Amino acid sequence: MPTLTIDGQQVTVPEKTNVIEAAKTLGIEIPHYCYHPGLSVAGNCRMCMVEIEKAPKLAIGCFTPCTEGMVVFTNTEKVKQARKDVLEFLLSNHPLDCPVCDQAGECWLQIYYMQHGQYESRMMENKIKKSKKATSIGPHVNLDQERCVLCGRCVRFCDEITKTHELGIFGRGNREELDVFPGKQLDNRYSGNVVDICPVGALTDRDFRFQVRVWYLGVQDSVCPGCSRGCNIQIHYNRNRPHHGHGRRVARLKPRYNSHVNQFWMCDEGRYGYKFVDAGDRIISPMLRRGAELQMATWGETLAASAERIRAVNPSQIGVIAWPQLTNEELYLVRRLFVDGLGCKNVSFSVPSKKDGGGDDFLITADKNPNTRGAGEIGLPIADSTGDILQAASRGEFKLLHIFGHDLLSSGLDQPLVESALAATETVIFQGSNSHLTVDRADIVLPSATFAEKSGSFTNFEGRVQRIHEAVPPLGDALPDWQILNRMARALEMGWDYQGTEHIFKELAENVAAFSGLSYCVLGDQGELLGYKPTNEAHIPTEPVTTVII
Amino acid sequence: MESEELQGIIDHYAGEKGALISVLQDLQGVCNYLPEPALRQVSDALHVPLSQVYSVASFYNAFSLKPRGRHHICVCLGTACHVRGAPRVLQEMERQLGIRAGDTTEDMNFTLESVNCVGACALGPVVVADGGYSGQMTARKVSPLLKTLGTSHEENQNDS
Ligand code: SF4
Ligand code: SF4
Ligand code: FES
């Protein structure tokens, strides 16, 4: 554990820490392009130069390990001049097309030029033209070679993380170009990450390009609902330009660092899987069946109708199909309402999907639900599988089915069975966010919020409980599922009065052993494992919180 | 080139570390350039990703990714040659052959290139044609040089 001095401040760091990381712990930023903490060190951009006492010349911070007694200066005249010179080189063939560049506003050429460049241009020569501008190189990524600073981060990502080797730097000198091999595509299950780590506008996201300028975006921490890994993400939402981006409020998802879960990365399926949040099939109003038609109704009418029908039947005649897309808090309320409150014994939650989830040995898991583990810990299902419930329903044993989210009619379930179960059941209540075939068969429809529109927590397959936060308000009249359940319980006069998700979580932690000791404070922004044992020390997050763009 | 022939080259270096450059050199020697199907074969056989094969192939000037002509003319534009009039020699070459530096004539007879110093500054301006050095070049000497090259080509063809 060497102790060194950086800009007059002493710091002790683990063996082999480089100067950039050591400085980061002191809150000192050493500008850099090619270095990325999730990749091997390349040392090619020369932006990270620092002055080291007794060293004959400047050294690069990314490739210099800290040693005992080292004295580092990050802000001397020599260092400042070096940064200026490096920027002048990097920009000598750069097209300076920021007004039409989607990276503008989060571009490290812009940021570092303003912080460390600010020189007068001396370029008299013509700039070298590169071959590809605004060219798609794969399903998700666009390439603009003139803007590339040849840092090689994207190449190393494809070599070291996905090991798919699509990208390379070809040619040499001022004609070097980043590209794919002729005729090949950048097409792997994690390709979107290269856009995040590209420090400039060379690689941009085809899905996000030109939808919203980044300075109009708001940021909210969340967790990807795409599979049971629960990658930590940021939701970037369109804060105040609703007319931009074709009405998409959620503009993009970005991975958020969590050393226990996803490090710096996320998969493409998860990254581009959020479209349902603002899709045209969102259910924006409660609905009641009047004759052959589902008609819009108020929450009051709908909840009263639901309560009436629930009260009218024996609890043993109610089947509930919960949903592992619900948060821990909501699943807990499902249990409280149907099982503990009404005494209903037929609650399932998982529905097989038609296609295989295709898990891999990196992040993607086969279970496409973020909270299957949570549901299990909370004690769902009770007794039966969804198949059993449908069997019973088709035999006419149920008078009421409460279905959360699932589209049973396009699932991997036996379809004739689903048909006969729906037909044989008097009242079908559907509670979910998006419309589909099953919704058309419901008698009462309760519109719920998506993951981006509510707060709560998911438990990933390893048992890590992680928080999600509301980024945008629920669309139309939709409400978070926990609020719907809370109101329904009140309509059933169960005496509930939950004030918020934290209130529910507190009770959950008291009642469900696996969650004991956990609280929103303990979960923090990196989550915490089930079976947590509080220590006497105050809870301190163990990892430095690093933002995506590094 | 037949893929068996290429396999022969690859087998020759089998197991050697860093065989890639040697294989590419031999391939360039046989074909005069590096055909794309051959690069794919090299990548498969040596278990080197295509992107890396391409990086190496495009880095070295000795490799060409385009078919090259039977005669290879290289005009030095290094500092010494430059000040002694090499640009005019190059221009005359381009004019007579009807191609820009870096290109090959349509009949695949000549490939014209420029380099930034061949290390024979005392002879400047220097032109290296098919490996032979011609010093103190001038625009006037371009035509005879091309003729000699052209004839030697014809002779070769008559020989065979
Ligand atoms: S495209 Fe971006 S990440 Fe890749 S080498 Fe260029 S600047 Fe670096
Ligand atoms: S691996 Fe799973 S949790 Fe992670 S981004 Fe992909 S779908 Fe989302
Ligand atoms: S970050 Fe150190 S050389 Fe690029």
Please tell me whether residue A251 adopts helix, strand or coil conformation.
strand
CB within 8 Å: A172 and B58:
yes
pLDDT for position A550: 42
Strands in A456-459's sheet, in edge-to-edge order, are A456-459, A464-468, A528-529
Tokens of A52: 């080291």
Dihedral of the alpha carbons of B55, A133, A102, A233, in degrees to the nearest 10: -40
In this predicted complex, what is the ipTM?
0.71
What are the tens digits of pLDDT across the range A319-375? 999 999 999 999 999 999 999 999 999 999 889 888 888 899 999 999 999 999 999
Query: Regarding predicted confidence, which is higher, A107 or A548?
Result: A107
- Per-position b or e across B35-47, b if 16+ CB within 10 A of its CB: beebbebbbebbe
pLDDT of A538: 55
Average confidence score pLDDT of chain A: 94
Confidence of residue B1 (pLDDT cuts 50, 70, 90): low
Which domains are assigned to chain A?
A: 3-91 (3.10.20.740), 108-205 (3.30.70.20), 287-516 (3.40.50.740)
Interface probe, candidates A130, A166, A170, chain B, greatest B C-beta count within 10 A: A170
Q: At residue A384, what is the residue type?
A: D
Q: Please work out whether the CB of residue A364 comes within 6 Å of at least one atom of ligand 2.
A: yes
A106's tokens: 């989060």
Asked whether the predicted pLDDT for residue A238 surpasses 90, the reply is yes
Q: Tell me if chain A has a CB within 8 Å of the CB of B52.
A: yes
Give me the count of residues in chain B: 160
Pairing mode, strands B127-129 and B132-134: antiparallel
* CB of A486 closer than 8 Å to CB of A498: yes
Q: For residue B55, give the nearest of A158, A170, A182 by CB distance.
A: A170
Q: Kindly state the average pLDDT of the residues A159-184.
A: 94
Query: What phi-psi label fits residue A41: left (phi over 0), alpha (psi between -120 and 50 degrees) or beta?
Result: beta
Residue A176: closest C-alpha in chain B: B59
Ligand in closest contact with the CA of A90: 1
DSSP states of A187-228:
-STTTTHHHHH-SSTTEEETTTTTTS-GGGEEEEEEE--SST
Residue type, position A214, single letter: V
Beta strands A444-447; A528-529: pairing state? unpaired
Chain B CB contacts of A158 under 8 Å are 51
Q: Which residues contact A485 (CB under 8 A, 6 or more apart)?
A: A330, A333, A334, A337
pLDDT computed for residue A537 by the predictor: 58
With a 6 Å cutoff on the Cβ, whether A34 touches ligand 3 is: yes
CB contact under 8 A, A181 and B58: no
Task: Give the tens place of pLDDT for each residue, B106-131.
Answer: 988 999 999 989 999 999 899 999 88
Query: A330: Cβ–Cβ under 8 A, 6 or more apart, which residues?
Result: A456, A480, A481, A482, A485
How many angstroms separate the CA of residue B147 from the nearest CA in chain A?
33
d(CA A215, CA A373): 37
- Ligand nearest to C-alpha A370: 2
- To the nearest whole Å, the CA of B49 is away from the closest chain A CA by 6
pLDDT digits (tens, 9 = 90+) for A56-69: 999 999 999 999 99
| Other CB atoms within 10 Å distance of the CB of residue A339 | 19
3-class DSSP assignment, residue A149: coil
For residue A479, the SS3 value is strand
Distance in angstroms (rounded) separating the CA atoms of residues B113 and B134: 15
What local confidence, expressed as pLDDT, does residue B152 receive?
63
Residue A148 φ then ψ, to 5°:
-75, 135
* Beta carbons of A147 and A93 less than 8 angstroms apart: no
Q: Which whole number is the average pLDDT over A243-248?
A: 86
Q: pTM score, two decimals? A: 0.88
Q: Do A181 and B52 touch (CB under 8 A)?
A: no
Integer CA distances (angstroms), A298 to A428, A430, A483, A498, B76, in order: 18, 15, 15, 22, 84
- A282 with A476: CB under 8 angstroms? yes
For residue A187, pLDDT over 80 is answered with yes
Residues A175, A193: Cα–Cα separation, whole Å: 26
Contact A165 B51 (CB under 8 A): yes
**A181 chain-B contacts, CB cut-off 8 A:** 50-51, 54
Closest-approach residue (CA) in chain A for B52: A168
- pLDDT at res. B66: 87
Q: Give contacts of A169 with chain B, Cβ < 8 Å.
A: 55
Give the model's confidence band at A15: pLDDT under 50 very low, under 70 low, under 90 confident, else very high.
very high
CA angle A247, A252, A256 (to 5 degrees): 150
**Is the pLDDT assigned to residue B2 strictly greater than 80?**
no
Helix B36-46 × helix B50-59 angle, to 10°: 120
Atom of ligand 2 nearest to the CA of A230: 3
B32 or A201, which is more confident: A201
CB A58 within 8 A of CB A50: yes
- Contact partners, residue B132, CB within 8 Å, separation at least 6: none
Q: Which two tokens stand for residue A192?
A: 């979107």
pLDDT for residue A383: 67
Interface test with B, best of A156, A167, A181 (most B CBs within 10 A): A181
Residue B133 host element (H or E): strand B132-134
Cα–Cα distance between A269 and B123 in angstroms, integer?
63
Q: To test the ligand 1 pocket, which listed residue (A166, A197, A198) has its Cβ within 8 A of the most ligand atoms? A: A198
Whether A547 has a pLDDT exceeding 60, the answer reads no
Q: Confirm if A456 and A223 have CB atoms less than 8 A apart.
A: no
Calculate how far, in angstroms, residue A44's C-alpha sits from the geometric centre of ligand 1: 12
Chain A residues at the B interface, defined by Cβ less than 8 Å, are 155, 158-159, 165-172, 180-182, 184
User: What stretches of A339-470 show up as alpha helix (H) in DSSP?
Assistant: 372-378, 386-394, 415-424, 437-440
Residue A193: which of A217, A161, A146, A215 has the closest Cα? Answer: A161
Q: Within 13 Å of residue B71, how many CA atoms lie on the same side as its CB?
A: 22
Per-residue confidence (pLDDT) for residue B160, from 0 to 100: 41
